[in-house]
Amino acid sequence: MELHGLISNIFYLLFLFIIAGESVHGFRPTKLFVFGDSYSDTGNNPKSLASSWKAPYGLTFPGKPAGRYSDGRILTDYLARFMGIKSPLPYQWRKYGQNKLRCGLNFAYGGTGVFDTGNLQPNMTTQIGYLKGLIKDSVYTKQDLQSALALVTVSGNDYSAYTSAGGSEQGLPSFITSVVNQMEINMKAIHDLGVRRVLVAMLQPLGCLPQLTVLTSYQQCNETQNSAVGFHNQLLQQAVAKLNNNTKDSSFQMLDLYDSFNKVLKNKGDFTGSLKFDTPLKPCCEATTSTAFCGSVDQNGKPLYTVCNAPDSMFFWDTVHPTQAGWRAVYLTLRSSLNQIYI
Active site residues: 38, 318, 321
The count of other CB atoms within 10 Å of the CB of residue 58 is: 22
Pairing of the two strands 31-35 and 148-152 = parallel
Give the residue among 338, 218, 212 at the shortest CA–CA distance from 277: 218
Peptide bond into 62 cis (omega under 30): yes
Sequence-distant (6+) residues with CB within 8 A of 134 are 105, 140
The answer to whether residues 259 and 278 touch, using CB atoms and an 8 Å cutoff, is no
CA 329, distance to chain mean position in Å, is: 14
Peptide bond into 46 cis (omega under 30): no
Q: 49 in helix, strand or coil? A: coil
Q: 154 in helix, strand or coil? A: coil
Whole-angstrom distance, CA of residue 31 vs CA of residue 310 = 34
DSSP code for 83: H
Sequence-distant (6+) residues with CB within 8 A of 117 are 111, 123, 157, 158, 160, 161
